[in-house]
Structure 1
Amino acid sequence: MTEAQYLSGRLLLAMPGMGDDRFDHAVIAMCVHDEHGALGIGIGAVREGITFHGLLQDVGIDPGVAPDVPVLSGGPVETSRGFVLHSTDWGGTGTLQVTGLCALSASMDVLRAIADGKGPSKWLIALGYAGWGAGQLEGEMRRHGWFAAQGSPAILFETPVTARWAATWRGEGIDPSHLVAQTGSA
């Protein structure tokens, strides 16, 4: 795969009928994709029973001025590990720039900055991630599983969580109600 074919900065959409219930209507912000594998953060489902204030308190940070927002289900891997997808107006140790989409931070620094009102202007938080080994995502892309949409900061930061899947399809010029759960072969 050439660098142009890698999916960093794109939004991965689960196709209907992909066969893995963990990814039903999933929207995944692709943060890393290269010859070694891929990592993305799910942005299309809320993690039930956990709020941002609760998470901050669990790690010993006073919520301060941070709004108490839902925590997203970032994916099935390392579900207790937190990730913050945010605008590029803030950066800290280990912050990864995701070209054209956002920045990704996984340190306590970003949580403290948000609580202190000195963090990024736009952000969301997720627990867990979706990961693929070398060549694994490419194989899934060839089967009925995923669609790689253009990355959109507006989808990340301005679209309600439950509307992101359909809104991303519509942004690609596709009416999601016309998608089918099976593919054919010629």
Structure 2
Amino acid sequence: MTDTRFYGGHFLLALPGMEDMRFDHSVVALCVHDENGALGIAVGEEIEGVSFRDLLASFDIDGSGVPDVPVLRGGPVEPRRGFVLHSLDWGGQDMMQVGNRWGLSGSLDILKAIAEGRGPSRYLIALGYAGWGAGQLEQEMTGESWFLAEGDADLLFEAPARRRWAAAFAAAGVDASHLVSGAGSA
């Protein structure tokens, strides 16, 4: 029997050799990783022209009292499905706690709670997710696609989306400006 590690609560950082251009410079907050596969929310790219207030209005929720934060492109799977990554000071219907780092919710009650001022103190809104079947992520991690880093709630919620990739590498002790595509040979 092999000793398998699961990485929920970590960041997956796309390496410059990433073949799938949908994940170029991606930071994926890994929320679920077990023997059945993995699910994460990409947190490094804002969706142009879509705001949180727009999203709330589409559900007939009054968002006039909330900051109009950008909505993130959470991944290529189910791009119309919404997710909220949030601090652990809120727990509601179907909330999944990701270690002691953050929560993941996908139901309307969190949107209503945020709009009414009783939601989590920190949150990110995303449409879509990144998903991997059983063993798929482990296989990708052996190649030149992903760098695994410790998840950091402060970096997740405080760093601007466009800076998260470099900031997450920096937190892991890596200067992202020195990364190059492809492995060398000797």
Give TM-score, length-normalised by structure 2: 0.96
Task: Give the Cα separation in 1 of the matches to 2:182 and 2:28.
Answer: 21
In structure 2, the residue matched to 1:113 is: 113
Distance 1:130 1:62 in 2: 29
Q: Deviations for 1:39-72, whole angstroms, at most 9, x for unmatched residues?
A: 0001000011100000000111111421111000
User: Structure 2 regions of 5+ residues with no counterpart?
Assistant: none
d(CA) in 1 for partners of 2:128 and 2:185? 35
Shift of residue 19, structure 1, vs aligned partner = 1.0
Q: Give 5+ residue unaligned stretches, structure 1.
A: none
In structure 1, give the amino acid aligned to 2:99: T
SS in 1 for 2:9: coil
Alpha-carbon contact 1:63-1:115 (below 8 Å) kept: yes
TM-score normalised to the size of structure 1?
Answer: 0.96
Q: Which residue of 1 aligns with 2:13?
A: 13
Give the equivalent residue in structure 2 for 1:26: 26
Aligned residues: 185
| Alpha-carbon RMSD | 1.2
* SS of match in other structure, 1:57: helix
1:184 partnered with 2:184: yes
Q: What is the distance in 2 between the residues matched to 1:18 and 1:172?
A: 19
Residue number in structure 2 paired with 1:70: 70
1:100 deviates by: 3.1
Percent identity over paired residues: 57
Partner of 2:163: 163
Q: Secondary structure at the match of 1:65?
A: coil
Q: Secondary structure at the match of 1:72?
A: strand
Superposed displacement of residue 107, structure 1: 0.5
Following superposition, the deviation at residue 2 of structure 1 comes to 3.9
What amino acid sits opposite 2:46 in the alignment?
Answer: V
Cα deviation, residue 185, structure 1? 5.1
1:184 CA drift (Å)? 3.2
1:55 corresponds to which residue?
55
